């Protein structure tokens, strides 16, 4: 172990002299202090390589806006589902309620959290596992498999049947109070167990707690509809649907999507996750009876191939990525060539680690879910640019759309969800039959899409 060395006056003088010796450093300083790092590192030629016309393209309805919530994974999932309704009924646009799955996700996550507390009563309170469980019991984030569990149990409904509220548009207050309640509930359960309360009485106490969570959620979000009427008119103003549905009936008959056919593929090239195997994440999920998440880990090229195959069949693709990396947010451009931060600083900052190293050292993980709705291909049929529907409203990017370069895909896309029919026979058999390898709760592949 080297002897600790302080920063000396000589070290500082040397660093200052080296900085002043190159005029590029002064130019960079003036630009960054005036406009910020990304604005100063913006490469106009890279930006110009991001048009919004595509060889293969899925046409979607009007943009949706998650506002000040971390529901991107819900919006992305619902956007893949509403597309089917728009196409089936020839609609101009359509929107499914995002407040409806938010309600049930918070309730189910609360139950999931309390079950985990009961399952870890023998773990020390200051141990890593219990501390992790208490960190963010019911955050807004999620994954495709968690949304699949929600719609299979609760269905979906049109936005009019359960519109947004102040607490769904901005979830921070509701999340804060619900988190405080659940931490208090965890305290009560652990103290009751320590005092010798029976397992049956602990289970009864937990049921009471879930009932109180329901009361809090109804207060914040309103009561979810048990049945609703639907009337839809197509682009020609012809009435194409007029009926009454439960949310489960609406999902079955109107969305008409077998969510069990859709599988989650990840690409994590780290030494602890060999490609071609199935993984799950310990204690990650929401609906207790449906279990947790299930991934098949494949090389990034396979994720691209299956995504293109689904787009060719005129179906959008749910995907998860680390959205903040090399991103010009206002312009809606995810492109490693559109920013040159390393040239700005004069040494490797963005390029100091590769994809696997960023995962291993905590620099990157999935933070946001969106929808792939188009792709450009070169003469060899290889992707060059992807069209992305975001969930930040029509004022974001270009009419709510982003672009994603294929080089950016290589670095920062971690997950796609596609129909399993696009997998090879061997891949499908592995996904369906292999016993999953269990990752730690804090593994980067257990991150939840939650960017606001």
Position 317 scores a pLDDT of 98
Q: Which residue reads 């397992």 in tokens? A: 199
CA-nearest of 395, 394, 398, 415 to 323 is 415
Quickly list DSSP for 346-376: TS-SGGGS-HHHHHHTTS----EEEEEEEEE
Position 139 scores a pLDDT of 95
Quickly list DSSP for 70-111: S-HHHHHHHHHHHHHHHHHHT-S---B-SHHHHHHHHHHHHH
Separation of alpha carbons 134 and 71, rounded Å: 20
Quickly list DSSP for 378-398: -TTS-EEEEEEE-SB-TTSTB
Which tokens hold the place of 435?
A: 């016993």
Catalytic residue among 50, 64, 72, 376: 72
Does 72 qualify as catalytic in the annotation? yes
Report CA dihedral (438, 439, 442, 446) to the nearest 10 degrees. Answer: -90
Catalytic residue among 50, 297, 321, 368: 368
Which tokens hold the place of 156?
A: 């979906």
Position 1 scores a pLDDT of 83
Three-class SS state of 170 = strand
CB 323 within 8 A of CB 367: yes
pTM of the model: 0.96
Catalytic residue among 111, 220, 390, 450: 390
CB 96 within 8 A of CB 81: yes
Does 30 qualify as catalytic in the annotation? no
Domains of the chain: 9-41 (no CATH), 56-446 (3.90.70.10)
Does 390 qualify as catalytic in the annotation? yes
Separation of alpha carbons 350 and 364, rounded Å: 11
Per-position pLDDT tens, the chain of length 452: 889 999 999 999 999 999 999 999 999 999 999 999 999 999 999 999 999 999 999 999 999 999 999 999 999 999 999 999 999 999 999 999 999 999 999 999 999 999 999 999 999 999 999 999 999 999 999 999 999 999 999 999 999 999 999 999 999 999 999 999 999 999 999 999 999 999 999 999 999 999 999 999 999 999 999 999 999 999 999 999 999 999 999 999 999 999 999 999 999 999 999 999 999 999 999 999 999 999 999 999 999 999 999 999 999 999 999 999 999 999 999 999 999 999 999 999 999 999 999 999 999 999 999 999 999 999 999 999 999 999 999 999 999 999 999 999 999 999 999 999 999 999 999 999 999 999 999 999 999 988 87
Separation of alpha carbons 206 and 189, rounded Å: 8
Separation of alpha carbons 265 and 254, rounded Å: 27
CA dist list (Å): 395 to 287, 331, 432: 35, 10, 41
Position 450 scores a pLDDT of 87
Position 174 scores a pLDDT of 98
């Amino acid at each position: 172990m080297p002897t600790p060395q302080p920063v000396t006056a000589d070290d500082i003088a040397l660093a200052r002299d080296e900085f002043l010796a190159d005029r590029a450093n002064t130019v960079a300083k003036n630009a960054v202090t005036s406009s910020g790092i990304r604005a100063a590192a913006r490469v106009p030629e890279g930006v110009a390589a991001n048009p919004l016309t595509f060889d293969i393209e899925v046409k979607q309805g009007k943009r949706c806006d998650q506002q000040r919530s971390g529901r991107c994974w819900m919006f992305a999932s619902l956007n893949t589902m509403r597309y089917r309704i728009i196409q089936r009924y020839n609609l101009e646009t359509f929107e499914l309620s995002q407040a409806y799955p938010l309600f049930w996700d918070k309730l189910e996550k609360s139950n999931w959290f309390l079950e985990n507390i009961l399952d870890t009563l023998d773990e020390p309170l200051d141990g890593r596992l219990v501390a992790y469980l208490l960190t963010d019991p019911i955050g807004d984030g999620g994954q495709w498999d968690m949304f699949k569990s929600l719609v299979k149990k609760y269905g979906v409904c049109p936005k009019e049947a359960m519109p947004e509220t102040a607490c769904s548009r901005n979830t921070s207050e509701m999340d804060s109070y619900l988190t405080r309640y659940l931490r208090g509930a965890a305290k009560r359960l652990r103290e009751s167990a320590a005092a010798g309360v029976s397992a049956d009485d602990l289970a009864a106490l937990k049921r009471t707690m879930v009932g109180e969570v329901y009361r809090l959620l109804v207060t914040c979000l309103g009561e979810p509809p048990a049945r609703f009427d639907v009337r839809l008119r197509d682009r020609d103003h012809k009435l194409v649907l007029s009926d009454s549905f439960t949310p489960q009936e609406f999902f079955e008959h109107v969305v008409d999507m077998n969510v069990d056919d859709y599988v989650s593929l990840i690409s994590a090239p780290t030494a602890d996750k060999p490609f071609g195997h199935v993984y799950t994440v310990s204690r990650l999920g929401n609906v207790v009876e449906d279990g947790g998440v299930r991934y098949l880990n494949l090389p990034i090229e396979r994720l691209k191939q299956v995504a293109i195959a689904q787009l060719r069949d005129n179906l959008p693709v749910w995907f998860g990525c680390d959205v903040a990396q090399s991103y010009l947010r206002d312009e809606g451009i995810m492109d490693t060539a559109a920013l040159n931060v390393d040239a700005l600083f004069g040494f490797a900052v963005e390029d100091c680690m590769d994809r696997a190293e960023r995962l291993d050292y905590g620099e990157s993980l999935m933070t946001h879910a969106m929808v792939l709705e188009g792709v450009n291909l070169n003469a060899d049929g290889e992707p060059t640019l992807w069209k992305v529907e975001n969930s930040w409203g029509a004022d974001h990017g270009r009419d709510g759309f982003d672009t994603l370069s294929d080089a950016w895909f290589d670095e920062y896309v971690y997950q796609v969800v596609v129909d399993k029919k696009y997998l090879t026979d061997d891949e499908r058999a592995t996904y369906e039959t292999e016993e999953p390898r269990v990752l730690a709760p804090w593994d980067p592949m257990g991150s939840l899409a939650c960017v606001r």
